Structure 1
Amino acid sequence: MTQRSMAALFTAQALSTSATTIGVALASVLAVKLMDDESYAGLPSTVNLLASAFSAYFAGQYMARHGRRAGLTLAFLLGTVGAALACWQALAGHFWGFMIGILLVGLANGGINQTRYAVSELVKPERRGQFIGWLLTCSAIGAVVTRLCIPVLKQLAEAYQLPENEAGWLLSALFLALASVLVGVFFTAKPTDVPRNTARVQLSVGELLKQPQVQLALIGMMVGQGIMLMLMVMMPVHAQHMGHGLEAISTVMTGHVVGMFGLAWITGHWVDRFGARNMILAGTVLLAASAILGMLGHSITEMGVALFVLGVGWNLCYVAGSSLLTSSLPPEARAAAQGKLDVFVWSAAAAGALGGGLLVSSSGFSTMYSVALAISLITAIGVYLRRAGEVKRVS
């Protein structure tokens, strides 16, 4: 039962990553097309991130009451509706209707992003990092599937006389619908450490943040998400300013995806072997190194190395933080608490994405890199000085 459930979650992760990869790539293009104004290009991704942060709390509460299976199935289904609506409204030329679809996909992501917690609950604590790493490897597979689907998508769009960008959202809806069916039918296993008929309890955010291990996990995920989004969004723009073309920028972004997901199969094992604290420390050091490389780099190779290092740094912070958080919470309070804390994680992601653009527009790329470097180094020093000790659950 556990193997079947794990396979369903891994496959759903690959499908949802493929769906969101297609959606994110096409959303800004469609926004500009529908409004004939490039200033709207960043609005879809901003709405998506803010909606994810907003819904994470409610997704956690729902899963605490009704279980991971019901919560994740509903999240994937909501994403299906949102992607289908985005496609329909884009075809009709209605920008704000398209944005409602984007909003629904973002709300769905608040729940879908908690798949990592569902996976970690199905294995023993000493293997949680490894399995979260494997889940992220499935994200890499999903990104590859996206690449393979593009030629097929173009052929189908031509056959049915549909614009290919709008048709991409229909493919996203199909992938999310398949993920919903897989989770709803095959995800039947229960967490390994939750006794039957256990009463659910609620811990306030204040109570959670008093715990050193929870603080460490949350800081790792927030800094990882915030710095990664800040640099990932703006580094391609920096490369373009230095005269690099679309093909070169696409190549270095592929390197970034490899850094984020390609090594996840081994980084999860490192988290279990060397400890979450050490891996968060290593991740923040790599984030700082990426900022330095981006600041000093001029060639496309140097930018590519910076983006690859950024991806690996994010991976370590995200996997280690997720694993540590799951192990630090009592089973009866875990789902609700994770939802509450994910609000902070995805808010940091939205702040990073918005903050990078604001810093560049007001003070230039050097200022953005300097801010990212300062945040990463301060976090690394704080993690190094902290002695979190062995995992001790909140009681």
Structure 2
Amino acid sequence: MTRATAPTVDQAAVQRRTLGVLSGAVTLGGLGVTVGITVGGLLAREVAGSDAAAGLGQTAGVLGAALIAVPLARLSERGGRRAGLAVGYLVAVLGAGLAVLAAAISSLALLLVGLFAFGAATTCGLQARYAAADLAEPAQRGRALSLVVWATTVGSVVGPNLAGPGNDLGAALGLPSLGGAFALSAAVFTVVAAGVWVLLRPDPLLLARRISAGATAGPAALVRTGTGAALRAVWAVPGGRLGLTAVVVSHAVMVGLMVMTPVHMGHAGGSEGATLRVIGLVISVHVAGMYLFSPVVGWLADRAGRERTVALGGVLLLAAALVAGTAAPEQATQLGVGLFLLGLGWSCGLVAGSTMVTEAVGTDLRPAAQGGTDLLMGLGAACAGAVGGPLLALGGFGLVAVVSAALVLPLGAVRLLGRRGAAHPG
């Protein structure tokens, strides 16, 4: 009788629709996020009048993306992906509006609050990838996730190049300098929130629970695991230790160098508009390195091994610090090459490292372990962004690159200790 009363759902058709909605959402969402990333540090520097404050703006966004993930995940757990994503993008709209207001009244404190809330858009992009796998068949989950990753690439590469036009539009509308880019982001996030709320039906997470529970009256019971216990389980396994370290180190190095690059390039001569366009191009190249080759990185991790891929990522991060750190503000080509290597190194560390974390524990601990890893990743990046501004003010972009390169050392240490432990298990 239970089967007779169960609603008939074409799961494959719903999954196709879900992937289409999510792909469109993250394409537009990535556009809005990278516009904000491109000008966030510049606006913080302009409002505060100091390079030391530039890193605080990006840090606030990264920290917001890390900490907002927890309440949005809980909201999705109770109300489904549709509720979590829609509310998250609306929080980002509020953050963008506060950034525009902060620019108008030259308030650094208000700007940091706005950028913190703006980070919710990054969180939504990450959670959209998980939503893509809710209804996917086990053999097709990788392809479902990769489709959303590629969709993220489109918006993220195009987005930085709209910073200049957005600033021009803002000026035409009477908005403060650099406020136009955030106004553009707010408009984009509003469209995405509305689209997700209207089109993401049926909700993939809620439907997956009903299917898992045999279409009974209520959703399947949830097993909650503490984040601390899950992370300890990951750390107890050599591969888990290396994977966790790779994810945190790769993201911290990437953010530490990336967020200071626009500020460094802002010291070049020329008009502000021209500078913004060149900065946008360099950031686009960097984002292409992060996402465009992720399927190749995943293939490499499977064929050559996770550990070797992590090691390759570490080498690429060191090369990026060397190439970008020795470039003058006006040397956009060299900075572009350095940031492309930075993005590719990040991709190697993140893809292979996340796989190692997932494989280190059983299915009962994986959600908490993955969530804890993402939280540590965000906190590490926030710390890297926070020290970037003072380091730039103290010793220039070269010092930022040296410190970023030093952050790679723990990755080599954990890999070496893991190998020694495997060789001498007693």
TM-score bin, normalised by smaller chain: 0.7 to 0.9
Shift in Å, 1:311 = 0.9
Corresponding residue SS for 2:204? coil
1:195 matched to 2:227? The reply is no
Q: 2:374 aligns with which of 335, 342, 352?
A: 342
1:219 matched to 2:245? The reply is yes
Which residue number in structure 2 is paired with residue 106 of structure 1? 119
Contact 2:171–2:180 (8 Å) recurs in 1: no
Q: Aligned runs of 1:132-281 on 2, under 5 Å?
A: 132-146=145-159, 149=162, 153=166, 157=170, 160-163=173-176, 165-187=178-200, 188-190=203-205, 195-196=212-213, 197-211=220-234, 212=237, 214-235=240-261, 246=275, 251-281=281-311
Shift in Å, 1:307 = 1.8
Which residue number in structure 1 is paired with residue 73 of structure 2? 60
Deviations 1:183-229 (A, max 9, x none): 33333224979933143222341333323354343222211101111
One-letter code aligned to 1:189: P
Taking a change above 3 Å as real, the CA distance of residues 272 and 117 of structure 1, as seen in their structure-2 partners, is farther
Taking a change above 3 Å as real, the CA distance of residues 76 and 268 of structure 1, as seen in their structure-2 partners, is farther
User: Structure 1: how far apart are the matches of 2:282 and 2:240?
Assistant: 34
Which residue number in structure 1 is paired with residue 383 of structure 2? 351
Corresponding residue SS for 2:337? helix
Shift in Å, 1:113 = 3.1
Contact 1:19–1:172 (8 Å) recurs in 2: yes
Contact 1:130–1:269 (8 Å) recurs in 2: no
User: Structure 2: how far apart are the matches of 1:380 and 1:128?
Assistant: 31
Structure with bigger gyration radius = 2
One-letter code aligned to 1:230: G
Taking a change above 3 Å as real, the CA distance of residues 153 and 250 of structure 1, as seen in their structure-2 partners, is closer
Taking a change above 3 Å as real, the CA distance of residues 331 and 310 of structure 1, as seen in their structure-2 partners, is same
Contact 1:129–1:268 (8 Å) recurs in 2: no
User: Structure 1: how far apart are the matches of 2:145 and 2:264?
Assistant: 32
Deviations 1:77-136 (A, max 9, x none): 211222233334544665544443223223554454333333345545666555544433
User: Structure 1: how far apart are the matches of 2:359 and 2:138?
Assistant: 6
Corresponding residue SS for 2:20? helix
1:379 matched to 2:396? The reply is no
One-letter code aligned to 1:138: A
Deviations 1:42-74 (A, max 9, x none): 332122222223223333344344443332222
RMSD of the TM alignment (CA)?
3.8
Shift in Å, 1:310 = 1.0
Corresponding residue SS for 1:102? helix
User: Structure 2: how far apart are the matches of 1:204 and 1:4?
Assistant: 33
Contact 1:208–1:214 (8 Å) recurs in 2: no
Shift in Å, 1:22 = 1.8
User: Structure 2: how far apart are the matches of 1:174 and 1:128?
Assistant: 32
User: Structure 1: how far apart are the matches of 2:335 and 2:51?
Assistant: 25
One-letter code aligned to 2:313: G
Which residue number in structure 2 is paired with residue 288 of structure 1? 318
User: Structure 2: how far apart are the matches of 1:237 and 1:84?
Assistant: 22
Taking a change above 3 Å as real, the CA distance of residues 61 and 220 of structure 1, as seen in their structure-2 partners, is farther
Q: Aligned runs of 1:312-351 on 2, under 5 Å?
A: 312-325=344-357, 334-351=366-383
Taking a change above 3 Å as real, the CA distance of residues 183 and 380 of structure 1, as seen in their structure-2 partners, is farther
* Stretch of structure 1 that moved more, 195-204 or 217-226: 195-204
Taking a change above 3 Å as real, the CA distance of residues 326 and 351 of structure 1, as seen in their structure-2 partners, is same
Shift in Å, 1:356 = 3.8
Shift in Å, 1:256 = 1.8
Deviations 1:359-388 (A, max 9, x none): 45556655544443344254146447747x
Contact 2:54–2:263 (8 Å) recurs in 1: no
User: Structure 2: how far apart are the matches of 1:357 and 1:33?
Assistant: 13
Deviations 1:291-322 (A, max 9, x none): 33345667654443222111111112223334
Shift in Å, 1:328 = 5.7
User: Structure 2: how far apart are the matches of 1:66 and 1:252?
Assistant: 39
User: Structure 2: how far apart are the matches of 1:6 and 1:91?
Assistant: 39
Q: 1:304 aligns with which of 336, 340, 354?
A: 336
Number of corresponding residues:
387
Taking a change above 3 Å as real, the CA distance of residues 73 and 334 of structure 1, as seen in their structure-2 partners, is farther
Contact 2:100–2:179 (8 Å) recurs in 1: yes
One-letter code aligned to 1:83: A
* TM-score normalised by L of structure 1: 0.79
Work out the percentage of aligned pairs sharing the same amino acid: 29
User: Structure 2: how far apart are the matches of 1:98 and 1:236?
Assistant: 18
User: Structure 2: how far apart are the matches of 1:36 and 1:317?
Assistant: 35
Gaps of 5+ in 2: 1-13, 214-219, 420-426
Corresponding residue SS for 2:223? coil
Contact 1:60–1:339 (8 Å) recurs in 2: no
* TM-score normalised by L of structure 2: 0.74
User: Structure 1: how far apart are the matches of 2:398 and 2:168?
Assistant: 43
Corresponding residue SS for 2:347? helix
One-letter code aligned to 1:177: T
